[in-house]
Amino acid sequence: MEILPSGLVSVTNISNISSSPDSGQIPAVGSQKLSFFDHFYVLAPPSKQLLFYRTEAAHLPDVVEKLKSALSLTLHHFYPLTGMLTWSPESSVLEIHYSEDSHGVVFVEAECGADFERLVGEDVHDKDVFADLVPALNFTEFPAPMISLQVTTFAGSGISIGITINHMAVDGQAYWNFVKSWAELCRTGELVERPWLDRSIIKDPCHLSSLYLRTFAPTLPKLIRSGSLASRASDLVRRNFILTSKDIKSLKERLMNHTTKGLVAVSSFVAVCAHAWACTAQARGVKDDETTIFSFLADCRTRLNPPLPQSYFGNAIKPCLVEAKGIELSNQEDGLMFAATAIQKAVRKALEDPLSNCNTWPVWVSKAFGPPSATIVNVYSSPRLQVYGADFGWGRAERVELLPTSRCGIMIFSDARDEGNVQVSMALPPSDMVRFFSLFMDGMEASSNKN
């Protein structure tokens, strides 16, 4: 039995799960060229998700077997995940190669001695244990696997499902379509909506696929990430904040009371992100003349020509950047208004013509995956993804966490366990987190008092 670094997690079994032979045949041999949306993430580390569920202790072994069986059925519909990401000198793009004899996906079974209630209840992450609840995945050399999974049991309490997936394979929408399909097959044995697997429908107007590889991955088939890109998890604290529907309503009303700023029908996304960006700039002490950047991702599926279905299985999101000087965000009230106006303008522009400025996207890659900076806030996920909606048969998850590379200023914005609420997760150095917590919570209280 292998003991993992935290000393609380032990691996009991490792197997490969392939597409179920009872669910039909996948293509004997096949490949898919990655789109330019996919190549955008050539430097990105794998995306790591962690879901906690409460289950009856007596049924834990049966739960694991049921998850494995349902996963096999799911991989029939999402068969590219059983393949490998590959590169060859003759090709200008990366490809997914798969076949009926594909090795499948790695499935790790483990046990954890940590306190389940503490892990799902504390707003501060237990980084050491969380890291051992998600499996490893090679992403530094091709060919590379697409995904690996880990199910960990907590005696007398429940389970965690850890999923590590190469970001070049899927974006958030596609990822959660896969997880919810797995959950649906586990719960009911049937799948209502199949994924759209054809990536060839996406055209590359700016020839970005080859540009990304030449610029950011010149050492293929190996990927060399500079030291400046490395994670510094030990230097950061990641903390969750739960906002109720009443909190968000008050924040939006506070913004709308300043109609002279040009705000119109403020969305929850704009309101919460503006508040978090302004608080981060103030907490980190951004200088008056220093440029601070807020970045987010916009789903382009329905706005491409031709449009993609929501079930499209791949990446279809574009980067968006908003800039401000430190002095524009330094005041609590004016900073909030400036941030909201700037973000709302960027959202509208992104939705009008999603590919209009695609030639500038490499600049975003350099900033997003370049040296960590005190001036950047990167937002991942969205409440509309409904990450707590994956019901494997035990109801809503007790806790869902996205575990990105722990870079300063990464903000996770998602729905929360209690419907109608949202969950904001922020990673900052300890001293900055103390200031951010005070500013963020005081700002929410001020919004409530003004309304």
- SS3 of 376-425: EEEEECCHHHCHHHCCCCCCCCCEEEECCCCCCCEEEEEECCCCCCEEEE
Checking if the pLDDT of 110 tops 90, the result is: yes
Burial status of residue 443 (CB atoms within 10 A of its CB: 0-12, 13-18, 19 or more) = buried
State whether residue 312 is helix, strand or coil. Answer: strand
pLDDT for 61: 83
Closest by CA position to 106, among listed 147, 134, 56, 165? 147
**Residue where a domain terminates, one of 189, 204, 228:** 228
Q: pLDDT band at residue 340, thresholds of 50, 70 and 90?
A: very high
Residue type, 71: L
Checking if the pLDDT of 24 tops 60, the result is: no
Mean pLDDT of 47-58: 87
**Residue where a domain terminates, one of 172, 207, 228:** 228
> What is the C-alpha to C-alpha distance for residues 76 and 78, in angstroms, rounded to an integer?
6
Domain check: are 224 and 316 in the same one?
A: no
Domain check: are 182 and 263 in the same one?
A: no
Domain check: are 70 and 217 in the same one?
A: yes
> What is the C-alpha to C-alpha distance for residues 314 and 37, in angstroms, rounded to an integer?
8
Domain check: are 274 and 205 in the same one?
A: no
| DSSP structural state of residue 330 | S
CATH code assigned at 426? 3.30.559.10
pLDDT for 406: 59
Domain check: are 224 and 260 in the same one?
A: no
> What is the C-alpha to C-alpha distance for residues 395 and 199, in angstroms, rounded to an integer?
33
Which range is least confidently modeled, 47-56, 209-218, 228-237? Answer: 228-237
pLDDT for 176: 97
pLDDT for 367: 67
List the domain range (segments joined by +) for residue 284. 231-450
Mean pLDDT of 120-145: 89
pLDDT for 170: 95
Closest by CA position to 105, among listed 61, 132, 75, 62? 75
Q: In what order do the strands lie in the sheet with 410-415?
A: 237-243, 422-428, 410-415, 376-380, 291-299, 317-325
Domain check: are 63 and 146 in the same one?
A: yes
Between the CA atoms of 51, 244, 342 and 266, what dihedral angle is there, to the nearest 10 degrees?
120
Please write the tens of the pLDDT for every residue from 341-395. Answer: 999 998 888 888 888 777 777 777 776 665 555 578 889 889 999 999 999 999 9
> What is the C-alpha to C-alpha distance for residues 225 and 73, in angstroms, rounded to an integer?
36
pLDDT for 171: 95
Checking if the pLDDT of 2 tops 80, the result is: no
Domain check: are 217 and 304 in the same one?
A: no
pTM: 0.91
How high is the mean pLDDT of the chain?
Answer: 86
Q: Please answer whether residues 130 and 12 qualify as being in contact, where contact means their C-beta atoms are separated by less than 8 angstroms.
A: no
Domain check: are 293 and 175 in the same one?
A: no
Diameter of the chain by CA atoms?
65
Q: pLDDT band at residue 229, thresholds of 50, 70 and 90?
A: very low
| DSSP structural state of residue 152 | E
Which range is least confidently modeled, 45-59, 312-326, 426-440? Answer: 45-59
Please write the tens of the pLDDT for every residue from 169-212. Answer: 999 999 999 999 999 999 999 999 999 999 999 988 888 898 88
> What is the C-alpha to C-alpha distance for residues 396 and 414, in angstroms, rounded to an integer?
14
Please write the tens of the pLDDT for every residue from 246-271. Answer: 999 999 998 888 755 567 788 999 99
Question: What separation in angstroms does the CA of 433 have from each of 45, 340, 371, 407?
Answer: 24, 22, 20, 14
Tokens of 102: 């594909």
**Residue where a domain terminates, one of 195, 212, 228:** 228
Strand ranges (E), 184-290: 237-243
**More confident site: 408 or 38:** 38
Domain check: are 315 and 201 in the same one?
A: no
Domain check: are 55 and 182 in the same one?
A: yes
Checking if the pLDDT of 26 tops 80, the result is: no
- Kindly report the backbone phi and psi dihedral angles of residue 214, in degrees, each rounded to the nearest multiple of 5, phi listed first: -65, -40
pLDDT for 1: 31
Domain check: are 181 and 266 in the same one?
A: no
Per the structure, the count of domains in the chain is 2
Domain check: are 206 and 285 in the same one?
A: no
Mean pLDDT of 80-85: 92
CA 255 vs. chain centroid, Å, equals 28
**Strand 144-145 to 376-380 pairing:** unpaired
